[in-house]
Amino acid sequence: MIEILITVLVLAIGILGVASTQVVSLQMNSQSQSRSQAVLLAEDLLDRIRANSDNPGDYALAQDDAQGADGGGCATSFVPANATVAANDIAAWENSLACLLPEAERTVAVDPLTNVVTVTIDWNQNDQAMNPVVVRTQI
């Protein structure tokens, strides 16, 4: 009888170990997905700036929360209607950022002398030791 109890105890400990491994795996997968989304969003904005390379300074944004559609968060049927291409690009990009990475903060720095653009995206992560995504390129 004691052998059965010991076997059940060992089996239960093994199952708990497998379950905890699965939980950690899901957390890492979620963090990886968020990081990939941030990189893709940064590259998307840089592509928009390259397409409008005559005015890279118009894309500079101070560090702030992503506002989304008209400052109201994520809008699934968002159509920007601003006066300039840069303003439309920023509005559409911020809406995508608000939809894909809620509570994200973004900074876009443009060096007018070298045309180096730095896009920084930070979001609420469970692991505070992870660094924000920073993508830098010369336009």
pLDDT digits (tens, 9 = 90+) for 5-42: 999 999 999 999 999 999 989 888 888 888 999 999 99
Give the DSSP H/E element, type plus range, for residue 105: strand 105-111
What pLDDT was estimated at residue 124? 79
Q: Is 114 strand, coil or helix?
A: coil
Write the single-letter amino acid at 62: A
Write down the pTM of the prediction.
0.77
